[in-house]
Amino acid sequence: MQPIEFAWLIPVFPLVAAIAIGLFGKKLKEGGGYVAVVAAIASLAITAAVVVQVLDGSFDSADGVMDGVFEQSQMWLTLTDSYSFEVGIYIDQLTALMLVVVSLVSTLVIVYSLAYMGGEGERKRRYYTEISLFVGVMLGLVLANNYLELFIFWELVGLCSYLLIGFWYHKPSAASAAKKAFIVTRVGDIMFMIGLIILFTTFKTLNFRDLFEIEASGTDLSLLTIGTIMIFGGAIGKSAQFPLHDWLPDAMEGPTTVSALIHAATMVKAGVYLVARSFPLFVQTPETLLVVAIIGGVTAFMAATMALNNPNIKRVLAYSTISQLGYMMLALGAGGYLFFHTQHAEGYTSSMFHLMNHAFFKALLFLCAGSVIHAVHTEDMRLMGGLNRKMKITSFTMLIGALSISGIPPFSGFWSKDEVLATVWEAGDLSWVFVLLYFLGIATAFMTAFYMFRLWFMTFTGKPSVASDHAHESPRVMTYPLILLAILAAGSFLVLFVGGGFGGQVFFEEPHSLAPAEVLTATFAEPITYLSIIVAICGVGLAYAVYYRKSISSDVFVSTKASRTMYDVLIKRYGFAAAYDAFAEKVVYGFSKLVDLFDIYVIDGIVNGFAFIFARSGNIIRRLQTGQVQLYAAIVIAGISIVFILLYLVGGLR
Amino acid sequence: MIPIEYFLALGAILFIIGAYGVLTKRNAIVVLMSIELMLNAANINFVAFSSFYGDVRGQIFALFSIAVAAAEVAVGLAILLALSKTRDTINLDEISLLRW
């Protein structure tokens, strides 16, 4: 037996833990927190064994097909001979990458939760049940071998997200944020489902392996474009891309650990994962890839602008998450477009590299923010300040995270962001759209550096405020995960220099492994690399000048009328929150009212009309019943006579 | 030998007279008597065909029919007796309880 054959156990441990904690959590220590940690570590251990096998390619594929994919499956539903569904696991390098990210980050976050959620009392049981359930279904989502299975887990992570955002459901804001997250992502899910129906009816299968070979099968591909766009619709909802991005900032109503795990490191990556998983389909439809790239670029830019002036530490990070997810989508779109025209798919690799780095540094940033919130009991950055002396570990690890996300070399965020931008720049040769998107990306990089360091300076430097007076460093259960994540956030770029590099393992169609020296020349020989470094440093510098040296007053952003308007527009999120409400109120509710009127007047009208006609006609006809026996007898005799006369006339009696 | 048509004509005439009585008379006793006429019209047919085909089954049925008619009259008269006791009438026009 080889370790990879036990891969199906990876999601099973957290799921069993969820059931156990749900049933017996009250009697367990810490509301079952330790059980959740043990289950997550067990998954992590199996993941590690599986990943080692995937990396050296030493496994025997279960079905004898040698294409670097390990697949085990079981027939589940047979509709007819040609329509059937499977359950199974599908492991390639992409799956392995996601498994590592999900199980590693979730283990650290659950460990961190032991301290962060320590004061929740009875509610801890619910928290650990839901978070274990989430880890299980997220791992299941990653392992699925067909779209139906993926879709089921996709909905389940949405459910867990709903439950955990609404963890403090007694707060009305949390309850409505949970509903908003669920309903807004549902819009995308419906599109995803339509996409799946299109694929299933066209290609008669939802298995990844069969679908990825349809190009060769000679089936008519004309429906593929609309199918892939619909699937991308699912990704838009789940990964909070424009125009369905507005639920993610509200999702910050949940506990910070939930924001770190679900709304930064894992679940929101499911959309990116979906596009990456469907890449063999997407690369056949350049129109869809263009849509993916444009949505990604616009999202990255818009979300970054909204992060610029938000006073809430978690919301800044939420906008930053949306923005970075936009980068990943942009890279996938541009990379796929390049592949369609030139057969090079470095964009796929760079997107996945950014996904991995982002999972580490964004989980780090959120957990640092959680540590700060734990200490000062507020999320408003204006009430913080001067914390770097009191919370040395948190402030230092958060600085690493901020440097990494800002793209300052040599931290890992720099390498992946640079690769993303390089891909987009390269795609600029094919279409002017990508040149535009490249400059959006550069502007985003500048803003990212600015708002991250605005956050850092506002929180950790300056004069201590009332809230930070009695702040103290968090317990070790919380700081150790921070330190581990900081090491990963700073050093995960080292995978570029090990073996064949990241591109030698996570790739599409062709591995592009580079020797360490080649990586360095490929990065630093390009002039555009220096452009992204310069804008990042400019962003940090501006934040330094405004929020540390205070040599530029932050009032400049609101001093003139135009900038004041701009400021208000950003605080109001470009009116998206209001637009959602207006859309729901006017369009959806109006349509429902219209349907209601149709129901009242047309449907009920028809039913009541029939009832009225029959009641009225019955009222008339009942007068035939006179009660006179002789009249009845006369009618019977007349009837029989008529029958006989007719029979005689037509000849039946002759 | 009298041809069978004569018997059938007699039966038909009796039946029509009976039916006419059932439909037009207001007195329930007369209606019962008219029903007897119709039954006897049927009996005549039974016996006529029995003789015509040389088959004794027709005569057996005629006997059954007479017995059933006797029973029917007994029940019918009992109902009429009860009616005249409770409603003080046996005029069929006034007995129309089962109407709208």
Q: What is the mean pLDDT of residues B64-71?
A: 93
Above 70 in pLDDT, residue A499?
no
Q: Which residues of A touch B99 (CB under 8 A)?
A: 625-628
**pLDDT confidence of A426, banded at 50, 70, 90?**
confident
Above 70 in pLDDT, residue B93?
yes
- Chain B, residues 13-42, CB within 8 A of chain A, namely 19, 22-24, 31
B22, B31, B97 member nearest A627 (Cβ): B97
Give the residue from chain B lying closest to A637, CA to CA.
B19
Above 70 in pLDDT, residue A197?
yes
Q: What is the pLDDT of residue A468?
A: 66
Domains in chain A: how many in total?
Answer: 3
Q: Model ipTM?
A: 0.84
- Domain identity same for A549 and A628: no
For A542, counting Cβ atoms within 10 Å of its Cβ (0-12 exposed, 13-18 middle, 19+ buried), the class is middle
- Domain identity same for A400 and A426: yes
- Domain identity same for A549 and A615: no
- Residue-by-residue DSSP string for A384-417: ---TTTT-HHHHHHHHHHHHHHHT-TTSHHHHHH
Say yes or no for a CB contact (<8 Å) between B22 and A626: no
Q: What is the pLDDT of residue A219?
A: 63
**Digit-coded pLDDT (tens) for A517-537:** 777 777 777 788 888 888 889
What gap in Å lies between CA A628 and CA B94, rounded to an integer? 9
Q: Which residues of A touch B96 (CB under 8 A)?
A: 626-628
The answer to whether residue B93 neighbours chain A at the CB level (below 8 Å) is yes
Q: What is the mean pLDDT of residues A618-624?
A: 87
Q: What is the pLDDT of residue A218?
A: 60
**Digit-coded pLDDT (tens) for A269-310:** 999 999 999 888 888 888 888 999 999 999 999 999 888 888
- Domain identity same for A63 and A110: yes
- Domain identity same for A563 and A593: no
**pLDDT confidence of A66, banded at 50, 70, 90?**
low
Above 80 in pLDDT, residue A345?
no
**pLDDT confidence of B17, banded at 50, 70, 90?**
very high
Q: What is the pLDDT of residue A611?
A: 94
Q: Which residues of B touch A626 (CB under 8 A)?
A: 96, 99
B23, B98, B99 member nearest A630 (Cβ): B23
Q: Which residues of A touch B100 (CB under 8 A)?
A: 622-623, 625, 627
- Domain identity same for A365 and A233: yes
Tell me the two tokens of residue A271: 């959309």
The answer to whether residue A615 neighbours chain B at the CB level (below 8 Å) is no
- Domain identity same for A595 and A641: yes
Say yes or no for a CB contact (<8 Å) between A628 and B96: yes
Give the residue from chain A lying closest to B26, CA to CA.
A630
Within a domain: B99: no
For A553, counting Cβ atoms within 10 Å of its Cβ (0-12 exposed, 13-18 middle, 19+ buried), the class is exposed
The whole-angstrom distance between A615's CA and the closest CA on chain B is 14
**pLDDT confidence of A374, banded at 50, 70, 90?**
confident
Q: What is the pLDDT of residue A654?
A: 66
Q: What is the pLDDT of residue A156?
A: 92
- Domain identity same for A554 and A616: no
- Domain identity same for A247 and A294: yes
Say yes or no for a CB contact (<8 Å) between A628 and B93: yes
In which domain, by residue range, is A432 found? 176-571
Domains in chain B: how many in total?
Answer: 1
- Domain identity same for A5 and A107: yes
In which domain, by residue range, is B38 found? 4-93
- Domain identity same for A306 and A411: yes
**pLDDT confidence of A607, banded at 50, 70, 90?**
very high
CATH of residue B13's domain is 1.10.287.3510
Closest CA to A157 of A177, A169, A178, A139: A139
Closest CA to A339 of A264, A276, A411, A409: A276
**pLDDT confidence of A491, banded at 50, 70, 90?**
confident
Within a domain: A158: no
- Residue-by-residue DSSP string for A366-378: HHHHHHHHHHHS-
Count residue pairs from A and B with Cβ separation < 8 A: 28
Q: What is the pLDDT of residue A385?
A: 76
Above 70 in pLDDT, residue A238?
yes
Say yes or no for a CB contact (<8 Å) between A629 and B92: yes
The answer to whether residue B8 neighbours chain A at the CB level (below 8 Å) is no
Q: From residue A237, how far is each of A4, A97, A155, A227, A388 by CA, in Å? A: 32, 22, 12, 16, 37
User: Which one of A145, A160, A191 terminates a domain?
Assistant: A145
Q: What is the pLDDT of residue A220?
A: 67
